A and B are shown apart, each in its own frame.
Chain A
Amino acid sequence: MAAKKKTTTKSKAVVQTKAKLKPKSKAKAKPKASAKSVGPAKDLTIKICAGTGGLAVGSQEVINEFAKELKARGIKADIANKCVKKTGCRGLCSKDLIVEIRQNGNTEVYQLITPDKVRRIVEEHIINGEPVFEWLAGEDYHNFNDRQTKVLLKQFGHIDPEDINAYINVSGYEGLRKALLQTTFEVTEEVKASGLRGRGGAGFPTGLKWEFCSMSTEPSKYIICNADEGDPGAFMDCAIIEGNAHSVIEGMIIGGYSIGSSEGYVYIRAEYPLAIKRLEIAIKQAREKGFLGKNILNSGFDFDIKIKQGAGAFVCGEASALMRSIEGKRGMPRAKLWRSAVKGLWGKPTVLNNVETFANIPLIILNGAEWYRSFGTEKSPGTKVFSLTGKVKNTGLIEVPMGMMLREMIIDIGGGRTGKNKLKAVQTGGPSGGCIPADQFDLPVDFDSLASVGSMMGSGSMVVVDDTTCMVDLAKFFISFTQHESCGKCVPCRIGTKRMLEILTRITEGKGVSGDIELLEELGNDIKMTSLCGLGQSAPNPVLSTIRFFRDEYESHIEHGRCPAGACKSLRQYIVNLETCKKCGKCARVCPSAAITWQPKTKAKIAKTKCVKCGACFDACPFNAIM
């Protein structure tokens, strides 16, 4: 709130100066004349979110509109100076498109901007210096941002991701410069000391991984960045690459230096065209500046990066399957007869890390392990980027220190529930994780605490659900995802998840039988214990955790044929509340299967046998008399 007031008062000052500058605002008919009379507005920067989220809601159109409107008013010089900037994701996706206008030292942030709003902003704000108050970002925006600790995302929304100089201006590639002046041993030790744990899910200490690999004397080694991000509901890695691909590249080069590898791969799904494009641009620019290629910064160290596009199979995010996929084989996990640090890609020692893990590296090297440890907890240092989605007001990308309470993330940053429905739980870690019920939101979010309640950090997706979501149905959604994505190699995952899906399906259809819950538990545990890779080993988590915390919902489906959330269509039953029915007959008119009998002045009645449970009457009733 305070921040908001401050900017507002400042912009009032602008009003006066601006008013003097440009008395005639309606100069559209004679743009050239006005250009002469006004002159370019100095120090004007307009930042428009152009991440995938932004682009999806039309950032390109908004950019064009700004360019057009500014040109029409002769604010030409500034366009050439890139006053309309494309930036990476600014996080608050639910309020996209976010537009930030910086003019003569004052900054205002607009939310939910569409092309048709541009002209008014240009006329009133940029020309008259009078911000359009009703479109300014509100309390949500500030709550959302002020409680975060942006370390990785600090530059997001501020630097142009397609311009290496923008990154260099904010100390980009300084970490690499510093690393190359140290021995490879010192670099590895620094990463070890930072306590950084892999952000790809399992939280393995990155420094240790690097150390294992650096010990090998093999002449060729590989370093791979895992940008597969197959978890439905996760978009952190995509956003990091779109917003600041250079940080990932810099992290990879430092990693290559540490382990003694001169060849890196970024494995990225083909469904991320913008991220791929930005990565390609960044790699090209880094080569031009001598950060990639032979004899980097005159250190004698060579390193280059190739991009390998994946076809988007979830299992290809698993380390050994990913390596098989790069080799051109079918992406199937391999039994861990040897560690990748000994025999990885093409049988050579390999280090594989997640996008976010690499993005942390330059900062750790530049600022030191001590600085890094000042964020987060003892065992999970640093910050973590999460994608917060589902039934909360503010959805989007957030960065917080490890160990922050779930409650703070969901209620304070996320703004709590969207409507009148109570929040029920949060699913962390996507299909590999588990749900955590709302009464346990006082849980610190770090690798170990999440695991202790049967969930996991996973990649960092958080899907918040409220009491309109059926937990059995939710579990069914995730297991159908994992069954679909299972590589089919091992029996428990291939057939076991299929059987779990069948049992869950019959429960949600009201055909569950007693013993089904126990069967799910037994089978789930056996799948966890006997599957080959992490996909199968974690696939039952959503089912087991929903049984653990919401067993009553399962029982209610099986024993009473009732879905407490009212979400399972086959269990729904529509009846007319005779007390509130006003005999209007609207329901009977919309019913597609003539299941409702009604005559003028009589109350409606729904024939159970004819009802197809489409819900049309429910929507049509003006008096909420259909239940």
Chain B
Amino acid sequence: MSDNDIKVKINGRQVLCGRDETILDAAKKAGVRIPTLCYDERLEPYGGCRLCIVEVKDVHKPQPACTTRVKDGMEVYTDTDEVRRMRKSVLSLLLSNHPNDCMTCEATGDCALQSLSYEYGVTGKRFAGESWDLPIRDDNPFIIFDPNKCILCGRCVRICNDVVMAGTIEMTGRGFNSLPDTAFGKPRTLDNCEFCGQCVSTCPTGALIDKKGRGKGRSYEMTKVKTTCPYCGTGCNFFLNVRDDKVVKVTSDYDAPVNKGNLCIKGRYGYSFIHSSARLTSPIIKKDGKYVEATWDEAIDLIAKRFGELMEEHGPDSVGAFSSARCTNEENFLLSKFVRTVFKNNNVDCCARV
């Protein structure tokens, strides 16, 4: 079978799909939004939250859109009364074991559970019962985990195991007491965790939050500035979250062509230097054994003079240049041009050769 020859109707609208695609993929093509909590494009579909259930013609049971492959001639209805009713039931169950903490929650305004509860108009009252009162886990320099807010979507576990390949956390326990956790509940430290914050980036609720950005503003209060990571040559994109002219957080850009929202510890948490008082703002020249601030003209003059002397004394091959990944492409290009035309050699390299 060739690609894209499977005809599927989503709410009456026909789309063409490939044989490996799911109903959720088809709905996206049709411009139809199906609610999800455990779905993240970066991960294998999971089928755990059951919110994406849809009605499929001639199938007696609702089918999860994320884990049902399309079939030719399939007719799907994503918003019937019956599936809405069942989604409500699932949401009420989730809320029956969820703290009603939205006012102080870091994730307010950026929480999939909150948005869906709002959209479906549900509270946790219908199935009120025992709910968790577990200690908050603040044992990691970058991440805070509040298990009480966890909905067990498994996204953190999957990203940590399948994307980061760190294997720090796994689902533990059974039944009502299941929870994502480290082996034997040990703290997430450098022994077992890479501090990449990938788990935080995928968490749909406020269960996993960035410690550095805590209390510094909700998602909707931030200006999001898209930028490229200054650390290495991979060139990951992300958003600097700016509030009151201060960068307070980094969040993922899921559409970034290079990294699709994934980041490592440097990109996600290595931004403190921006507002650091220790940051150099002018050139420094060592004079009589002491470092003293200088102007750019002074510095460039000194470099030109010393390079000239060295080349005269030891030949042109005695000098070279090493550039930085934290410079732009254009700056790196200029430096290499400079080395080849002025030094007349090929002694140029860059730390971005990863």
List chain A positions with a Cβ less than 8 A from chain B. 313, 330, 332, 334-338, 483-492, 494-499, 502, 522-523, 526, 529-532
Question: Which of A330, A338, A495, A529 has a CB less than 8 Å from the CB of B171?
Answer: A330
Q: Which residue of chain B is the closest to A497 with respect to CB atoms?
A: B175
Q: Which chain A residues border B66 with CB–CB below 8 Å?
A: 335
Asked whether A495 and B50 contact (CB < 8 A) given A335-B67, A337-B69, A488-B152, the answer is no
Question: Which of B47, B127, B177 has a CB less than 8 Å from the CB of A523?
Answer: B127
Q: Is B48 an interface residue (CB 8 A)?
A: yes
**Closest chain A CB from B177 CB (angstroms):** 8
Question: Which of A313, A489, A499 has a CB less than 8 Å from the CB of B93?
Answer: A499
By Cβ-Cβ distance, the 9 closest A-B pairs, closest first, are A488-B178, A335-B47, A335-B67, A495-B93, A498-B176, A526-B89, A486-B175, A502-B129, A499-B127
Contact B46 A488 (CB under 8 A): no
- Chain B interface bracket (under 10, 10 to 19, 20 to 34, 35 or more): 35 or more
Q: Which chain B residues border A488 with CB–CB below 8 Å?
A: 152, 171, 173-178
A/B interface sample: 6 pairs, CB < 8 A: A488-B176, A489-B48, A491-B93, A499-B127, A523-B89, A532-B50
Q: Is B285 an interface residue (CB 8 A)?
A: no
Asked whether A337 and B45 contact (CB < 8 A) given A488-B173, A495-B96, A498-B176, the answer is yes
Q: Which residue of chain B is the closest to A484 with respect to CB atoms?
A: B175
Question: Which of A337, A484, A530 has a CB less than 8 Å from the CB of B89?
Answer: A530
**Closest chain A CB from B95 CB (angstroms):** 10
Interface centre among A492, A522, A526 (most CB of B within 10 A): A526
Asked whether A490 and B50 contact (CB < 8 A) given A336-B67, A495-B127, A530-B86, the answer is yes
Q: Which chain A residues border B174 with CB–CB below 8 Å?
A: 313, 484-488
**Closest chain B CB from A212 CB (angstroms):** 16
Asked whether A483 and B62 contact (CB < 8 A) given A492-B93, A530-B89, the answer is no
Contact B49 A335 (CB under 8 A): no
Distance between Cα atoms of A532 and B51 in the complex (Å) = 11
**In residues 143-191 of chain B, which contact A (Cβ within 8 Å)?**
151-152, 154, 170-171, 173-178
Q: Which residue of chain A is the closest to B49 with respect to CB atoms?
A: A491
Q: Which chain A residues border B62 with CB–CB below 8 Å?
A: 529-530
**Closest chain B CB from A335 CB (angstroms):** 3
**Closest chain B CB from A541 CB (angstroms):** 15
Distance between Cα atoms of A531 and B62 in the complex (Å) = 10
Distance between Cα atoms of A491 and B178 in the complex (Å) = 11
Q: Which chain A residues border B127 with CB–CB below 8 Å?
A: 495-496, 499, 523
**Closest chain B CB from A488 CB (angstroms):** 3
Contact A490 B97 (CB under 8 A): no
Q: Which chain B residues border A498 with CB–CB below 8 Å?
A: 129-130, 175-176
**Closest chain A CB from B155 CB (angstroms):** 12
Question: Which of A330, A492, A495, A530 has a CB less than 8 Å from the CB of B176?
Answer: A495
**Closest chain A CB from B168 CB (angstroms):** 15
**Closest chain B CB from A336 CB (angstroms):** 7
Q: Which chain B residues border A485 with CB–CB below 8 Å?
A: 174-175
Contact B129 A499 (CB under 8 A): yes
**Closest chain B CB from A619 CB (angstroms):** 35
Distance between Cα atoms of A487 and B27 in the complex (Å) = 29
Question: Which of B48, B68, B171, B173 has a CB less than 8 Å from the CB of A491?
Answer: B48
Distance between Cα atoms of A523 and B53 in the complex (Å) = 16
Distance between Cα atoms of A523 and B62 in the complex (Å) = 15
**Closest chain A CB from B316 CB (angstroms):** 58
Distance between Cα atoms of A335 and B68 in the complex (Å) = 8
Question: Which of B53, B94, B171, B178 has a CB less than 8 Å from the CB of A530?
Answer: B53
Q: Is B61 an interface residue (CB 8 A)?
A: yes
Distance between Cα atoms of A425 and B350 in the complex (Å) = 80
Q: Which chain B residues border A499 with CB–CB below 8 Å?
A: 93, 96, 127, 129
Interface 1/0 per residue, B89-105 and A, CB below 8 Å: 11001101100000000
Q: Which chain B residues border A523 with CB–CB below 8 Å?
A: 89, 127
Contact B154 A489 (CB under 8 A): yes
Interface centre among A334, A489, A522 (most CB of B within 10 A): A489
Distance between Cα atoms of A494 and B174 in the complex (Å) = 8
Q: Which chain B residues border A491 with CB–CB below 8 Å?
A: 48-50, 90, 93-94, 151-152
Contact A495 B94 (CB under 8 A): yes
Q: Which residue of chain A is the closest to B51 with respect to CB atoms?
A: A491
Q: Is B198 an interface residue (CB 8 A)?
A: no
Q: Which chain B residues border A496 with CB–CB below 8 Å?
A: 93, 127
Distance between Cα atoms of A484 and B90 in the complex (Å) = 19
Distance between Cα atoms of A486 and B178 in the complex (Å) = 9
Contact A532 B175 (CB under 8 A): no
**Closest chain A CB from B306 CB (angstroms):** 61
Contact A532 B171 (CB under 8 A): no
**Closest chain A CB from B137 CB (angstroms):** 18
**Closest chain A CB from B342 CB (angstroms):** 57
Q: Is B262 an interface residue (CB 8 A)?
A: no
Q: Which chain A residues border B252 with CB–CB below 8 Å?
A: none
Distance between Cα atoms of A313 and B170 in the complex (Å) = 17
Distance between Cα atoms of A617 and B166 in the complex (Å) = 62
